[in-house]
Amino acid sequence: MKKLLHDWAFRNLTIFGKITVVKTLALPILVQCLSVLPDPKSKQFEEIQKIIFNFIWDGKIDKIRRNIMISDKHKGGLKVPHILSFAKSLKLTWVKKCLDPQCKSSWKILIADKLEKWGYSNIWQLRREGLSTAMQVFNNFWQSVMQAWSEIMQHPTTAPSEILRQPLWHNNEILINKQRVCKSHWIKKGIFFINDLINDNGSFLSLENFQDKFNVHTNFLTYNGLISAIPKHWKELIKNVPREEISDCNIEKLRKAQKVSKLFYPIFLSSVAETPVNVKHKWEERMSIDIVENEWEQYFMIPHNVTMNTKLISFQFQILHRILCTNSRLFIFKILDTEMCSFCHETKESISHLFYGCLHARNIWITIQEKLKNLCNIDVCFN
C-alpha cells in the first residue's frame, strides 16, 4: 500500500482524487487479508490508517480531524475509509455464511462441534456477554468475527418480541445465585430463548408440558428457578403475548444482504465518525446566525450536488472547513509578514472578507446580481 500510494503522491491530485485512489487501488490490497485472517492489533490498524491519511495530506499534518474525514459527505466528511470498521464489516460475511444452509463449505466441519454446544446458529443470538464467553473456545479468527458481531448487537428495548427472543443462557439479566445460567443439555434439545418456554396463550409452559415438548427430564425447582430468574419487568411486558417465530433484525438484514460489508460498515462507522462541531460553531459565531443541523447537511452537500469539477468541490470543502489559507492564516503561521487583504490592503484577509466583504469581491457579486436580474429576470440579493 505504501509503495502504491507513494507512486500516486506525485500526481498533484485533489483530495477527492486521492480518496478515489485509496478506495479503488489501495483498499483492495487489504480486502483478502482482512477477510480471512484474524484482525491485526489496534496498533496495526492505526498504522494502516496513518498511511492513508499521510497520502491524503501529502505527508503533512492533518488539516481536518480523521474522525470527521471518515464521515459521510452530508455530515461534513469525505468518506475516507475507516479501516477498523471496514475490517469488522468484512468479518460479518462469515456470519452470513454460517447461517446459510446452502453454504456447505468444508470449513464448517471444523467449527461444527463448537457450534453444536450453542445450538448451531443460535450462537449468533447470544447477548454480548454470552458471545464473549462462547468465543473463548474458538480460534483468533473466529474471535474477531464474533467480536465484530457482538458490537452491532442491540440490547432489548420494551418490545415484547425483543424480550421473547432473549437467550436464556449466559444472559446478564437472567441470574441464579448471581450467576449467569447455561444448561448445555437443554440447548441440545432446542431450548434457547424465553420464547421457548411460552405457550400459544402467552403464559409459561407448565413443567409437564415443558418436559413433554422438549423431552427433557427436570424437576419443578430447576424449571421454576429458571422462570423466576427472568426479570419481573420482562414478564410484565410479555404477559399474554403468545410464542412467536424468533426473528432478529440483524440476522434478517444479514440474510437479505447482497453485500454484507456494505450494510454493516455504516453501523461500525457511526460509533467513531464525527461531524465538525468546532467549524460549525465558528461559522455561526462569525456570521452571528444559528444554523440547524439539517441546514448544515444541505451546505455540506451543495458543492457535491452542483458540480462535477473536483477542484471546485475541493475548494468549497476547504472554505466550509475553514482550512483555506488566507493571508491572516499565513500571517499566524509566520509565512507572510502581513495579514491584510491582497486586493484592498485595508482589512484583515479572512475567508468572509476575501469572498464577500472585500470591495473587489462585492463588485463581482453586484455584477452577477445585475446580470441575473437583467438577463434572466431573477431577483436575488446576495447576503
Q: Is 113 exposed, middle or buried (0-12, 13-18, 19+ CB in 10 A)?
A: exposed
Binds Zn ion (CB under 5 A): choice among 8, 299, 343, 365: 343
| Binding map of Zn ion across residues 348-367, x = CB under 5 A, - = no contact | ----------x---------
| 341 contacts Zn ion (rule: CB under 5 A) | yes
| 30 contacts Zn ion (rule: CB under 5 A) | no
Question: Contacts with Zn ion: how many residues (CB under 5 A)?
Answer: 4
Region binding Zn ion by CB under 5 A among candidate stretches 35-43, 70-78, 205-213, 344-352: 344-352
| 138 contacts Zn ion (rule: CB under 5 A) | no
197 vs 124: CA distance, rounded Å? 20
By beta-carbon proximity to Zn ion, the closer residue of 107 and 382 is: 382
By beta-carbon proximity to Zn ion, the closer residue of 187 and 358 is: 358
Binds Zn ion (CB under 5 A): choice among 25, 27, 246, 344: 344
Of 76, 67, 82, the residue nearest 22 (C-alpha): 82
By beta-carbon proximity to Zn ion, the closer residue of 32 and 338 is: 338
By beta-carbon proximity to Zn ion, the closer residue of 153 and 344 is: 344
Region binding Zn ion by CB under 5 A among candidate stretches 194-202, 228-236, 326-334, 339-347: 339-347
CB of 284 to Zn ion, least distance (A): 23
Residues that bind Zn ion in the complex, under the rule CB under 5 A? 341, 343-344, 358
